[in-house]
Amino acid sequence: MESSEETSKNGKEGLKSHNRRRWRKDKCKASRILQSMDLRTMTQSLVTLAEDNMAFFSSQGPGETARRLSNVFAGVREQALGLEPALGSLLSVAHLFDLDPETPANGYRSLVHTARCCLAHLLHKSRYVASNRRSIFFRTSHNLAELEAYLAALTQLRALAYYAQRLLATNQPGGLFFEGDEGLTADFLREYVTLHKGCFYGRCLGFQFTPSIRPFLQTISIGLVSFGEHYKRNESGLGVTASSLFTSGRFAIDPELRGAEFERITQNLDVHFWKAFWNITEIEVLSSLANMASATVRVSRLISLPPEAFEMPLTSDPKLTVTISPPLAHTGPGPVLIRLISYDLREGQDSEELNSMVKSEGPRILELRPRPQQTSRSRSLVVHFHGGGFVAQTSKSHEPYLKSWAQELGAPIISIDYSLAPEAPFPRALEECFFAYCWAVKHCALLGSTGERICLAGDSAGGNLCFTVALRAAAYGVRVPDGIMAAYPATMLQSAASPSRLLSLMDPLLPLSVLSKCVSAYAGAEAEEHPNSDEKALGMMGLVRRDTSLLLRDLRLGASSWLNSFLEFSGQKSQKTSAPTVESMRRSVSEAALAQPEGPVGTDSLKILTLKDLNLKSSSETSETPEMSLSVETLGPSTPSDVNFFLRPEDAREEAEAKEGLSAKDSSSGVSNAFPVGFHPRRTSQGATQMPLYSSPIVKNPFMSPLLAPDNMLKTLPPVHIVACALDPMLDDSVMFARRLRALGQPVTLRVVEDLPHGFLSLASLCRETRQAAELCVERIRLILTPPAAAAATAPPPL
C-alpha cells in the first residue's frame, strides 16, 4: 500500500516537474524567436502560420471550438498585419530619443520590444498548434484559451502603438513626454484608461519579463485579488489576516477571473488599499523570513532623531552657518526615524549619545555579537531613501538588500523612515529626508563614519527624494553629497503621457491608475481620513501587528479553508463599494514657501543671503526665440508648454524629416482619431475609473518633479548614476533626466537593465537576473564612495 502511494506521489511530482520544464522550454523557444528574427520576418511567418491554421480549423465542421480557433487565427493575422507598420515607424525614429549610442533605451524602443515579445509567443504557439493539431493529445481548450488571451493582448498593444505615434506627432522635438495643453492631456488620459487591461493580468501576466519573474508575479496577483476580496468585505482591508493568502483559490485556477478582478482592483480601489497591501511585508513574521535569507549584520537599529534645530557650516565659507530646522509641514515638529545598518560594529555606533536615541522595536534592536574590539570608522556613508510610491513601506521592507549592501560596501547605511502620504503629503517627506541627511553629515562619527565620502541612494520614490534632497542641500549652501545612485527613479510627477508610461497598461506592479493615486496622495489631493476612526487611532502598523497574533491559527486553518475555496467555481457577487469622497487639495504650504526654503529662525542676514539658489523663474519668463537651441534656461515650472527638451541640431533635423511621413490628419486631429478606420481596441468593462488627474500646480514644483527644475538648480547636483529598467513605465523619467544633465555638462551615467520589472531591488534574491541588477546598483555606489585619486590609481592602464 505504501509502495503504491509512494509511486503515485512520485508520479504526480514527476508530472509537475515535467510541466515546469516544458513551460521553461516554451519560454526559451519564444525568446530565441525574439532574438533571431527581425520584425518583418516575424510578422510574415506568423501570418503564414495563422492562415494555415485558420484554413485547417475552418475545414473541421461547424463545431464551436473549431469556429473559435479559426476566428482567433483570423484575428491574429489581422492584428499582426496592422501592427507591423506602426511598430516599424516607431522603430525608425526610436534612436533619436536615446541618451547616447551606447545606451539604446527609451519608451518607444520598450513598446516595440514588448509587442515583439507578444508576436514571438504567438508565433511559437502557432507553430505548436500546426504541428500537434491532429494529435489525440492536443489540448484544444487550453491552447484556445491561451491564443485568445494573447490575441487580446496583441490588439491592445496595437492600440498602444497608435497612441505612441500620436505622441510622436504631437510632442515637441526630442521630447518623450506629452507637452500639449492640459485639456488635451486630460482627454488623452481619459481615453487611455478606458482600454481593457484584464488580458494582461491573466494568462499573459508578465509575458514581457524574464521567465524567472513570472511565477513571482503570478503569486503576487493571486495574493492581490485575494487581499482585495477581503478588503472589499471589510471595507477597510486592514483587518485582513494571513489566512487571506490561503483563501479565494478560484483565482489560482481561473486566469481570466483573476485578470478581471485584478483590473477591477487597480482601477477602483483607493490609495488606502495599496498602502495596506504593500505594507504586508512589514508583518514581523514575513519580515523575519525575508531577513533570514539576507546577510547577517552586527548593527540594525532604529534611531529617533529629536526635532531640534542645529547649525550646519556653509560650503562657501565654513565660518558661516545656516540653521537646519526640524520638519514642520502639515503635522508640526516631530522626530524623524532612521535605521542604522552596519556589517561591522564601528566606533561611535554603541556610544551613549546614540544609544539614548535608539527606538525599541521589540526583540530585534541590535544584532550584536561578542567580538574582541570595535572596527574603526569607515570613510564612507550611504544615506538611503526607500521606495513605495510615497505612500507605503519603511526601511524594514528594504532591509534585506540593505544588509547585503552594508556587507559588500563595507560602509554604514542609514535608511530614512520618512512620513507617508496621504496623511503626510508633500513636502513633509522631503523635509524629513533633508533634516535626516543634514543630521547624518553633522553626526557621522556617531554612525561609524568619518564622512569623507557620502552617497545618496534610493529606488523609485526614494530616487526622487535623492535628487530633491541634493537640490535642497545646494540651495541651503550646505554640503552636497558626493554622488547619487537612483534606481528606476520618478522624476516627473506631472500628468504627462510618454511612450514608456503607455506600458503601465500591462504592468502588474505599476499600473497607471495606481501611480496616479499615489502621486495624488503625495500632492495632498487624497482624503486622509480613514472611514473607521478606531482603526485610524490604532495606526497602520498597529493593525498589522494585531493581525499577526492570529497567524498560527490562520496557518492551521488555512489549508482546509484554501482547499474548500479552491473547489469553488462560482462565488457570491461582491458588494459594490461606494467611491470614497475626495477632499479638495490642501495647500498648507504656499507656492512662495516652496520656491524658497523656510527662513531659519534666529539667523543673521549673512546666513539668509546664502539661501539664493531656489529662486525660480516666473511663469511669464518663457523663451521668445523660436529656433531650437541646446540651452533651456527659459525653463519654468508653471505650465507644460514652458518646458522644452531639445535634441542635438542634427538629430532634430532627422526627426523632422521622419515626421514628414505622418499625414496632416495625424498631426492635427484629436486623440479620438488616433486609430485607423476599422480598428477598435477592447474597452474595459469595469466602468468609470477612479483615477484623479494630478494636474495641480504643486506637481510642477521642481522639488516634486526634479525633471522640471531649471538649469541653475540642476547644475548644483553631484555626479548622478541612474539604473533603470527597459520595461518600466518610469523609464522615460530616467532617460529625459539623464539627457537634461548631459546637455548641461553634468556628470551622469545611465544603465538600463533588460526584462526586469520596476522594483527589482526588492526582488534581489529571487533570480540571477535580479541579483545581477542589484549588483550593478552596488557597483554604481562603489564608484561614488571611491575617492577620485584611488579610482584613478586602480584604473587599468590605457591600451
Where in the sequence numbering do the catalytic residues fall?
460, 728, 758
C-beta neighbour count of 272 within 10 angstroms: 23
> Crossing angle, helix 64-93 and helix 39-58, to 10 degrees?
170
CB 121 within 8 A of CB 27: no
Does residue 422 have a cis bond before it (omega within 30 degrees)? yes
φ and ψ of 470, to 5 deg: -65, -40
CB 460 within 8 A of CB 730: yes
CB 504 within 8 A of CB 512: yes
C-beta neighbour count of 618 within 10 angstroms: 11
Which three cell numbers, joined as nine digits, stand for 97? 530619443
3-state secondary structure of 764: coil
CB 237 within 8 A of CB 223: no
Which three cell numbers, joined as nine digits, stand for 465? 527624494
- Single-letter residue type at 618: S
Residues 6 or more apart whose Cβ sits within 8 Å of residue 552? none
What Cα–Cα distance (Å) separates residue 149 from each residue in 152, 200, 230, 686? 5, 8, 27, 18
Bridge partner list, 720:
484, 748
Q: Which of 543, 529, 692, 583 is nearest to 238 (CA)?
A: 543
Q: Which of 394, 201, 410 is nearest to 298 (CA)?
A: 410
What Cα–Cα distance (Å) separates residue 336 from each residue in 49, 118, 412, 543? 62, 47, 18, 22
Write out the H or E segment, with its range, that includes residue 499. Answer: none
Q: Which of 322, 301, 300, 318 is nearest to 310 (CA)?
A: 322
> Crossing angle, helix 461-476 and helix 428-442, to 10 degrees?
60
Residues 6 or more apart whose Cβ sits within 8 Å of residue 47? 77, 80, 81
176 CB-side CA count, 13 A: 32
3-state secondary structure of 311: strand
CB 323 within 8 A of CB 602: yes
